[in-house]
A and B are shown apart, each in its own frame.
Chain A
Amino acid sequence: MSTRVFGSGIRRREDPRLITGAATYTDDYTLPDMVHMVLLRSPHAHARIKRIDTTRAKAAPGVVAVFIGTDVEGALNPMPCAWLVPNSNLKVAGYPCIAKDMVRYVGDIVAAVVAESPYQATDALDLIVVDYEPLPAVIDPEKAKQSGAPQVHSNVENNVAFHWTVTGGDVDGTFQKADVVIKERIVQQRLIPNAMEPRSALAHWSGASGELTLWNTTQNPHIARFLCSVVTGVPEDKLRVIATEVGGGFGSKIPAYPADFITVFCAKKLNRPVKWTESRRENFQGTTHGRDHIQDVELAATKDGKVLGIKATSYSGMGAYLSTAAPGIPTILHGLMLSGPYDIAAIREDVYGIYTNGTPVEAYRGAGRPEATFILERLMDMLAAKLGMDPIDLRKKNFIPKFENGHTVATGLSYDSGNYAGALQKLVDHVAYKDLRRQQAEDRKKGRYLGIGISTYVEICGLGPSQVAGAVGFQGGLWESAIVRFHPTGKVNVFIGANPHGQGEETTFAQIVAEEIGVDVNDVKVIHGDTQTTPMGWGTYGSRTTAVGGAALVMATRKVKEKAKVIAAHLLEAAVEDMDYKDGKFFVKGSPDKAKTIQDIALMANVAWNMPAGVEAGLEASSFYDPPNFTYPFGAHLAVVELDPETGQIDVRRYVAVDDCGPQINPVIVEGQVHGGVVQGIGQALWEGAVYDENGQLLTGSMLDYALPRADRLPDMEVLSTVTPSPHHPIGVKGIGEAGTIASTAAVYNAVIDALSPFGVQTIRMPVTPERAFNAIQEAKAGRR
């Protein structure tokens, strides 16, 4: 092959079906005899259910059945939590699929109606009468921990679901001897993921064979099958989960949900296919949220700007129940990352996971790492301001020096490779940072308030060694799998256990195979998202699909190549050790003109007319790749915002990202991941935030109230990269799915503070709405008077 497909921005293989409307997402399926389920959800954040009357609903036109909590008791097991963080006194409260006696958040499921049409089911929903006794509710995780706060679960004292700590170095001593201590309270507001595709489930029960097929909007069909089996009792071997097309997830389609299992319950009970699809309003209430941490953070430093220690206490809202992976997010994925790209000798964090009367919280793009990055980047800027240093210089002073194979930080993690100063320097050079600052000063004289913000980060992804997963309480493995299968014509199917849903691995994985074994990229089709055809895998989240699944694919392809070499040697009547390979051709060393192509070998292996002794027919291999370590992508981002001092409105004027995810299989896809990630982070800084009232009502319960980023409020982004391979990954790649989000919130926030600083503003809550900025200016002015 003349041009190398690995590393080139070829068009995506998944797009033709997506741009023509031919793709089928869960809600697009219709089965014969199918009925529709809708759910009655609690309008109260906390209430005792005194009585439910479904009589009229059951009699309504088209209604097939109505089920309440008592109906599913015994048939549906409680929802499991699958990340049991050790040494944290974790208390997993009972999480029934349908609430029976108590509802604990607005959106808790109270009843299910199944009818011939969704219109009829919704009509019947209005006829269910529920007698509630409302109880006091609590939403703020810090307040929920105080004594006397409403108790979300009677057996969980002070609502503390867990208390986890991480400690490295002599924290108390460090803070005592420090010249400078910076303190800040950070509120990582609750976010609502809002994947564009609402969640959906379609369950088809085959009573005769006892088999169940579940079409489901999930990022991890194999985990969904596992947990569905646990909750519904359908044996895993008779359970097939299909999630071939998923419309975004961002973490919210990782967990198992009661609604999906109620759909299964109904299908079994009624012996008819049952489909449920949430409305957006339901999505706001019933699909998991993200973040929701209140943090008190401190930094200790010398007077010349050497950071010595970080100390933090976090009250992390979990919502009413522990969602599948929730406890691991503010702990393992957050606290362990508190060194960031910096050399910090002493680190401690206390994390309290707190039950509240909010929607359960889960991973949301970045999951723990944006919050860790924010702490560090905020404190760095505050320290720079205090010491009168430039934020760039301060960061450079504290970076871990460039390393290529391992660096252990105070929290105990061993980073794989990093060149943090390199990424930052690239950013500084690209934007001509000094000129940018000069321009800013000049503009300010003219009454234009620009703010420049920096954020550097290192993240943990490519989750991860299974042994570590087990040690930190994750109730599963974190390896990935791939099967590479050559057909007689030389075409290839790749089956993977992960489940990309927009990230483009149908393309990048074909590029990997092309690179490894010399087939045309168009001859490789990647199959995912169906537990019946794909090998076990743990799913697509935590920027792990390429970092772990990609490695599995490399290993499987290399196994195929080894076998192909043996067959080629046989066909060329040569010894295996004399064989050479280049660009899809196997030949005897020195005789490239007399070669066997991989296609020749695939045909022979499949017909098996002339195979080497002891070699099985067929040309395929599988790999189950368990990574030896996590991967640690990093980068440096810069945002320029403009403040309208009259109204407090803030607009992003410029955004520059430098990310290092190792070698890039497809730079166009990498860039796209950065774009999307950055914008989600900008959303947190400026627009997004769940707001509840004191009764636990979600006030931002629709897209009319919850502001998602829109095209007209964003600038073009400039995306650059550096390349530092991971030493332990077979092709060095690290992962890029979350990087943008991890960096951008802090970059934009720092820029906002920079823009507000002439007025004396040092801190502000997110999202930085015009009112908040306006008020901060007024208050700072008043305070200075």
Chain B
Amino acid sequence: MYAPEFDYYRAGSVSEAAGLLRKYPGSKLLAGGQSLIPLLKLRLAAPVAVIDIGRIRDLKGITVKGGTIRVGAMTTHAELAASSELAEQCHALAQAAAGIGDPAVRNRGTIGGNVAHADPASDLPAVLVALEAKLTVEGPDGKRTLDAGGFFQGMMTTALKEHEILTAIEIPAHSKGQGSAYAKFAHPASRYAVIGVAAVVTTSGGKCSAARVAIGGMVPRPVRAASVERVLAGQELSAENIAKAAGQVTESLGNEVLGDIFASEQYRRSVAPVWVKRGLTQAAERAR
């Protein structure tokens, strides 16, 4: 597999990258390359130029400050998976990152590249939606912050405007009594999510005070399962209550459920409650 010709520019800073994007219309940003390079090889993408932002130092790393976790866009999945801070304070993200692709892919792939690519079968979008992450983007008009819920607009489509670059993701660290998890039904070949469920459970006085559930993989963009969240709020986190709440997921899935030769739309709808239950159960365990 041989990619088509393109030019290559290496950006030393976000502003330089933004300038290059403007200068070369039809160019693509290159982060870890784990989504872009396969597309180039298959000649499904043919950018005029590739702008490498993978070396911008400011975009790397995980910092925790005042209850907020800031993850630089060029932080790799391996770094997310290995982070003890994330494991403690934002478990679903670390857990989901640990299940992306395989170790070599995780060493290259970045959270920013993954999220900006917005593949519906990707793991992180649903996780960020459930975690109510804020995404910082920088562009010609300066910086702005977007809710994860609004960032993902459809299959491979985000709220990023032309010449904007995703630079960081901010996530509220778990408070006491809060726990999160990611349950994934992985495709046996691609290992992408056929169904991915990110769940955040907040407990108070032995009951679920709030739950946030986002579904990915089976929908063009992650959806919040408000129907599940509603039913669980205020309930004890018993197996029965979790199962009952999870059973409500269908209502939140909407009309656009994906299907393919491995798992049809009907099947995904049928088993979605099981995966929601599993995500919630794990999150509830971590919340205790």
Among B1, B3, B185, B262, find the residue whose CB has the most chain A CB atoms closer than 10 A: B262
A126 interface contact, C-beta 8 A: yes
Q: 1/0 per position for A201-220, CB-CB distance to B under 8 A?
A: 00000000000000000000
Interfacial chain A residues near B188, Cβ < 8 Å:
687, 707, 710, 713
Name the distance in Å between B166's Cβ and chain A's nearest Cβ. 25
Contact partners of A646 in chain B: CB under 8 A = 271, 274
User: Which of A279, A707, A713, A774 contacts B271, CB < 8 Å?
Assistant: A774
Distance in Å: Cβ of B102 to nearest Cβ of chain A: 9
The yes or no answer to B255 lying at the interface (CB within 8 A) is no
Minimum Cβ distance to chain A for residue B250 (Å): 15
Nearest neighbor of A280 in chain B, beta-carbon distance = B1
Complex CA gap A123/B4 in Å reads 7
B57 within 8 A of A: no
Q: Which single residue of chain B is at the shortest CB-CB distance from A713?
A: B188
Q: Give the CA-CA distance A774 to B271 in the complex, in Å.
A: 9
B104 close to chain A: CB less than 8 A: no
Q: Determine the distance from Cα of A705 to Cα of B194 in the docked complex, in whole angstroms.
A: 12
Say whether A769 faces chain B, with CB atoms less than 8 Å apart.
yes
In the complex, the answer to whether B271 meets A122 with C-beta atoms within 8 Å is no
The answer to whether the Cβ of A704 comes within 8 Å of any Cβ in the partner chain is yes
Report if A700-B261 is in contact (Cβ < 8 Å); known contacts: A126-B43, A647-B271, A774-B267: yes
Which residues from A are CB-within-8-Å of B185? 647, 649, 770
The interface residues of chain A lying within 8 Å CB-to-CB of B275 are 647
CB-defined contacts of B263 to chain A, threshold 8 Å? 769-771
CB distance from B197 to the nearest CB of A (A): 12
Q: Is A708 part of the binding interface, using a Cβ–Cβ cutoff of 8 Å? A: yes
A691 within 8 A of B: yes
Min CB gap B215→A, angstroms: 15
* B270 sits at the interface (CB 8 A): yes
Chain A: how many interface residues by the 8 Å CB criterion? Answer: 30
Other-chain residue from A279, A649, A778 in contact with B1 (beta carbon distance below 8 A): A279
User: Nearest Cβ in chain A — how far from B109, in angstroms?
Assistant: 15
- The residue on A at minimum CB distance from B259 is A771
Report whether A706 and B189 are in contact in the complex, using a CB–CB cutoff of 8 Å: yes
- Does A330 touch B at the CB level, under 8 Å? no
Cβ contacts under 8 Å, A123 to chain B: 2, 4-5
Question: A701: shortest Cβ distance to chain B, in Å?
Answer: 11
Asked whether B107 is an interface residue with its Cβ less than 8 Å from the other chain, the reply is no
Whether B274 and A647, one on each chain, are in contact in the complex, defined by CB atoms closer than 8 angstroms, is yes
Across-interface contacts of A647 in B (CB, < 8 A): 185, 271, 274-275
Residue numbers in A under 8 Å from B3 (CB-CB): 119
Closest residue on chain B to residue A118 by CB atoms: B2
Query: Chain B's nearest CB lies how many Å from the CB of A39?
Result: 13
Residue B63 at the chain A interface, CB threshold 8 Å: no
Query: How far apart are the CA atoms of A775 and B2 in the complex, in Å?
Result: 41
Chain B residues whose CB sits within 8 angstroms of the CB of A118 once the complex forms: 2
Residues of B near A774 (CB, < 8 A) are 267, 270-271
| Contact status A281-B274, CB under 8 Å | no
* A703/B189 contact (C-beta < 8 A), A771-B263, A771-B267, A774-B267 known: yes
Contacts of B270 in A (CB 8 A): 774, 778
Query: What is the minimal beta-carbon distance from B247 to any residue of chain A, in angstroms?
Result: 12
Cβ-neighbour of A775 out of B5, B262, B267 (below 8 A): B267
A704–B274 touching, CB < 8 Å: no
CA distance A710 to B186 in the complex (A): 13
Chain A residues with CB below 8 A from B271, complex form: 646-648, 770, 774
Complex Cα distance A699/B267, Å?
19
Contact B1 A769 (CB under 8 A): no
Distance (whole angstroms) from the CB of B47 to the closest CB of chain A: 15
Task: State the CA gap A122–B42 with chains docked (Å).
Answer: 11
CB B242 to nearest CB in A, in angstroms, measures 13
Once bound together, how far apart are the Cα atoms of A710 and B274, in whole Å?
25
Residues 1-21 (chain B) with a chain A CB within 8 angstroms: 1-5
CA distance A118 to B1 in the complex (A): 9
Distance between B118 CB and nearest chain A CB, rounded to angstroms: 18
In the complex the two chains form, what is the Cα distance from A707 to B4 in whole Å?
A: 28
CB closest residue in chain B, given A778 = B270
Determine the distance from Cα of A713 to Cα of B187 in the docked complex, in whole angstroms. 12
Contacts of A708 on B, CB cut-off 8 Å? 189
A126 proximity list for chain B (CB < 8 A) = 4, 43
Contact with A along B263-274 (1 / 0, CB 8 A): 110010011001
**B residues 166-202 touching A (CB-CB < 8 Å):** 185, 187-190
A-binding residues in B (CB < 8 A)? 1-5, 42-43, 185, 187-190, 261-264, 267, 270-271, 274-275
**Sample of 20 more A-B contacts, CB < 8 Å, known A123-B4, A280-B1:** A119-B3, A123-B2, A126-B43, A281-B42, A647-B275, A649-B185, A687-B188, A687-B189, A700-B261, A704-B189, A705-B261, A705-B262, A706-B189, A707-B189, A770-B185, A770-B263, A771-B262, A771-B263, A774-B270, A775-B267
